[in-house]
């Protein structure tokens, strides 16, 4: 059983598992295709699973795939904790330009469904944070894109000083939100 919570980004949902605990430990359902499709109102077929391991204060993102290679994702933290952030890039969306953030952790076991056309990033809050996600389309390097993590118009508060953040050179060079369609 899964509990679904809608977010302020259209089509992006937070998924809370029901956890069954007894003397042996616990059990939870992490994915149920039919239930997710019922909530989304359309079919989804995941074709690729990815996983990263990050040190505390590593920020990955904000990433997305353009065009025919766009990806919907279902993400969760298996170990550690991460501040997860999404930004709606769909010009025809009622939530265009809005962002949503949530802490995903091994303790709360929350998952996030990120629809196509929405950028995604996360900040590892603990060492050895393991972030795992399913994608409904294969990765395509030529379609890779992103938005700078500290875009002033998005005003995302990552909760960590700039000097403590660890980013790739590629993520530091991403364009601002306003530059996407100019």
73-118: per-residue pLDDT in tens?
A: 999 999 999 999 999 999 999 999 999 999 999 999 999 999 999 9
DSSP 64-117: EE-GGG---EEEEEEESEEEEEEEE--TTSTTTT-EEEEEEETTT--EEEE-TT
> So what CATH class is 7-12+46-181?
mainly beta
| Tally of CA atoms within 13 A in the half-sphere of 43 that contains its CB | 1
The string of pLDDT tens digits covering residues 26-61 is 999 889 999 999 999 999 999 999 999 999 999 999
Using pLDDT thresholds of 50, 70 and 90, give the confidence band for residue 1. Answer: low
CB 162 within 8 A of CB 149: no
Q: For the chain, what are the domain ranges?
A: 7-12+46-181
50: three-class secondary structure by DSSP? strand
- Total-model pTM: 0.94
Active site residues: 63, 133
Per-residue pLDDT, averaged over 139-149, amounts to 96
């Amino acid at each position: 059983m899964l509990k679904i919570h809608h977010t302020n980004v259209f089509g992006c949902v937070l998924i809370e598992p029901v956890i069954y605990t007894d003397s042996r430990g616990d059990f939870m359902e992490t994915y149920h295709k039919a239930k997710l499709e019922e909530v989304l109102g359309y079919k989804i077929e995941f074709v690729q699973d990815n996983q990263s391991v990050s040190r505390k204060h590593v920020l990955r993102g904000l990433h997305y795939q353009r065009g025919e290679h766009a990806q919907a994702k279902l993400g969760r933290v298996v170990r550690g904790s991460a501040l997860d952030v999404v930004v709606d890039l769909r010009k025809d969306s009622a939530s265009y330009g809005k962002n949503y953030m949530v802490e995903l952790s091994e303790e709360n076991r929350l998952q996030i469904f990120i629809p196509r056309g929405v950028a995604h990033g996360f900040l590892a809050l603990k060492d050895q944070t393991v972030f795992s996600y399913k994608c409904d389309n294969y990765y395509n390097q030529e379609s890779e894109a992103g938005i700078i993590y500290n875009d002033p118009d998005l005003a995302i508060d990552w909760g960590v000083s700039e000097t403590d953040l660890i980013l790739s050179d590629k993520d530091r060079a991403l364009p601002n939100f306003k530059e996407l369609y100019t």
